[in-house]
Amino acid sequence: MKRWLNAAVAATAVACLTLGATAASAQGNNVRIIVPFAPAGSSDVLARLLQGPLQQELKQTVIIENHAGAGSNIGTVDAARAKPDGSTFLISSSAFVVNPGLYKNVPYKYDTDFEPIALLPVAPNVFAVNSAKSGIKSLADVIKTAKANPQKLNYSSPGNGTTPQLTMELFKLKLGINLTNIPYNGGGPATQALIGGNVDVLSTALPGAQSHIKGGTMQGIALTTEQRWPTLPNVPTFKELGYPEMSLNTEHFMLAPHGTSQAVIDKMAKALAAVLAREDVKKRLVELGYLHVISGPAEAKARIAKDVAFYKDLIKNAKIPQVQ
């Protein structure tokens, strides 16, 4: 049990790709899950949390592969182009439904290139600072500094099109302030940028940042949840700070390449439902920073269509320029 829980955070992309290549050559009954972000982001942590229990349910080896880059588009296209033979799946974040509105030319079709399987647990977004290196200790300090020095502050995000990036952009628009976005290929690199003192503020999903906040390496200054997170009682919510509209969370989806058989989809959906119903998994989800969600293919398909429309309107109304 400890092995798969620790693997949720500790594994790296190099190890995954190496082990994946070795295992794939030795055994043809593997399941690979592509995560279109670097290790330690919310999609990656979630995939690794589910990896061990899914192996038990499916009775197959589950391999996680990180295909990061271009705001998740690289890994998403890799998954779309994979053979629909039941061996390849995608676990992505809200970037999957944001990118059709954010990018002028999206390299995948969200509604025809994939078969939705399930909505997965949701991650709240968090703003954090490295107060030891920047002197900023609160959301009020960010606002004050940004207003006094409009070109001074920057922030790291898991990439263009991620909900952490959109959360910060909406906050900037509402307050009339400026922070320059430094996009990374996932929450892990974005978090390390803050820890290393390379950026002033971090906007990311909670799972990849929670341990650093609890350990004091960085300081959480605002969460998108309705109430304070149980393991981070000292981190205020945007709502209590007077910004209730800042409620965008990072969703997660599992999908398969278009053409994957209904039998395979149903098998994976059933396995996920069993895993997410386990009490030990529920407990670990909260500990890592996820809100528990469970659904099947129909709900996932409907939610994806709804989210794509929502984010297209949001990006347009917020006057966020499309990425070329």
Same domain, 18 and 115: yes
Say if 246 falls within a structural domain: no
In a domain, 301, yes or no: yes
The pLDDT of residue 322 is 87
- CATH number of the CATH domain containing 133: 3.40.190.10
By percentage, how much of the chain surpasses pLDDT 90?
Answer: 78
| Same domain, residue pair 146 and 196 | yes
With respect to residue 305, please indicate whether it lies within any of the assigned structural domains.
yes
Residue 91 lies in a domain: yes
pLDDT higher for 185 or 278? 278
pLDDT digits (tens, 9 = 90+) for 141-200: 999 999 999 989 999 999 887 899 999 998 998 899 999 999 998 999 999 999 999 999
183 and 164 within one domain: yes
Statement to judge: residues 113 and 188 lie in one domain: no
> Is residue 243 a part of any domain in this protein?
no
Same domain, 116 and 129: no
312 occurs within a structural domain: yes
Q: Indicate whether 104 and 162 sit together in one domain.
A: no
In a shared domain, residues 118 and 7 = yes
Q: Structural domain of residue 156, as residue ranges?
A: 125-223
Q: Are both 24 and 105 inside the same structural domain?
A: yes
Q: Does 24 share its domain with 56?
A: yes
Q: Across residues 103-131, what is the average pLDDT?
A: 96
**pTM to 2 decimal places:** 0.81
Q: In a 3-state reduction of DSSP, which class is residue 176?
A: coil
Instruction: Compute the C-alpha angle 123/100/12, nearest 5°.
Output: 45
Q: Is residue 18 part of a domain?
A: yes
Q: What is the pLDDT of residue 217?
A: 95
Mean pLDDT across the chain: 90
Q: Return all residues near 207 (Cβ < 8 A) that are at least 6 apart.
A: 41, 42, 45, 46, 123, 187, 288, 289, 290
pLDDT at 250 over 90: yes
- The rounded distance, in Å, linking the Cα atoms of 117 and 228 is 31
Q: Are residues 103 and 14 in the same domain?
A: yes
Instruction: Note the pLDDT of residue 24.
Output: 38
Q: Does 190 map to a domain?
A: yes
Q: Is 240 helix (H, G, I), strand (E, B) or coil?
A: coil
215 and 148 belong to one structural domain: yes
- The whole-number pLDDT of residue 136 equals 95
β-bridge partners, 65: 34
pLDDT band at 107 (very low <50, low <70, confident <90, very high): very high
| Strand pairing class (154-157; 62-66) | unpaired
Looking at the fold, whether 185 and 96 belong to one and the same domain comes out as: no
pLDDT tens digit string along 189-221?
999 999 999 999 999 999 999 999 999 999 999
Least confident of 56-60, 112-116, 165-169, 250-254: 165-169
Whole-number pLDDT of residue 227: 93
Element (H, E) at 93: strand 88-93
* pLDDT surpasses 90 at 5: no
Q: Could you read off the pLDDT of 50-103 as tens digits, one per residue?
A: 999 999 999 999 999 999 998 899 999 999 999 999 999 999 999 999 999 999
pLDDT value at residue 28:
56
Q: What is the CATH number of the domain that holds 274?
A: 3.40.190.150
Instruction: Count up the domains in the chain and report the number.
Output: 2
The DSSP code for 236 is P
Which of the four pLDDT bands, split at 50, 70 and 90, describes residue 14? very low
